[in-house]
């Protein structure tokens, strides 16, 4: 991941369990950059993230989902674009944000 993530400052990766890692960033901005860049893959495997604000036991960490960008090329003019996007997004767990281009 260190070669993939282009951060301004260093970060440290600690193995804390089987397939469970703690990543410590020196800069909050670097953390946000990586967080906003999701989803991330490592060796073609999806990497799931969560932000820890306080110490927590390993067995309390539940990594179950990751956001994805879904691009819809075109839409029938009779559909309300926002309603359509929310209907599609709800089948995948919800919509975090959406963008509608003029030619959609």
Residue 53 lies in a domain: yes
pLDDT band per the 50, 70, 90 thresholds, residue 45: very high
Residue 79, in any domain of the structure = yes
Looking at the structure, do residues 43 and 79 belong to the same domain, yes or no? Answer: no
> What pairing do the DSSP bridges indicate for beta strands 11-17 and 40-42?
unpaired
Q: Can you tell me whether residue 56 is helix, strand or coil?
A: coil
Does residue 77 lie within any of the structural domains? yes
Q: Quote the number of domains for the chain.
A: 2
Residue 4 within any structural domain of the chain: no
State which residues form the domain around 31: 11-60
Domain check: are 41 and 77 in the same one? Answer: no
Cα distance between residue 70 and residue 68, in whole Å: 6
Are residue 42 and residue 76 in the same domain, yes or no? Answer: no
Task: List, for residues 72-89, the tens digit of each pLDDT value.
Answer: 777 787 888 888 888 988
Domain assignment present for residue 5? The answer is no
Predicted confidence at residue 103, as pLDDT, reads 67
pLDDT band at 104 (very low <50, low <70, confident <90, very high): low
Based on the fold, state whether residues 38 and 75 are members of the same structural domain.
Answer: no
Same domain as 77, residue 48:
no
Cis before 39 (ω within 30) = yes
73 lies in the same domain as 52: no
pLDDT in tens, 3-38: 789 999 999 999 999 999 999 999 999 999 999 999
């Amino acid at each position: 991941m260190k070669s993939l993530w282009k951060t301004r400052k260093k970060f440290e990766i600690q193995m804390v369990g089987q397939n469970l890692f703690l990543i410590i960033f020196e800069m909050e901005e670097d953390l946000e950059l990586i967080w906003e860049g999701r989803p991330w893959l490592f060796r073609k495997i999806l990497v799931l993230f969560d932000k820890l604000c306080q110490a927590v036991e390993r067995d309390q960490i539940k990594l179950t989902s990751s956001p994805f960008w879904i691009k819809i090329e075109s839409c029938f003019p009779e559909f309300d674009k926002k309603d359509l996007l929310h209907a599609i997004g709800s089948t995948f767990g919800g919509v975090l944000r959406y963008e509608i281009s003029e030619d959609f």
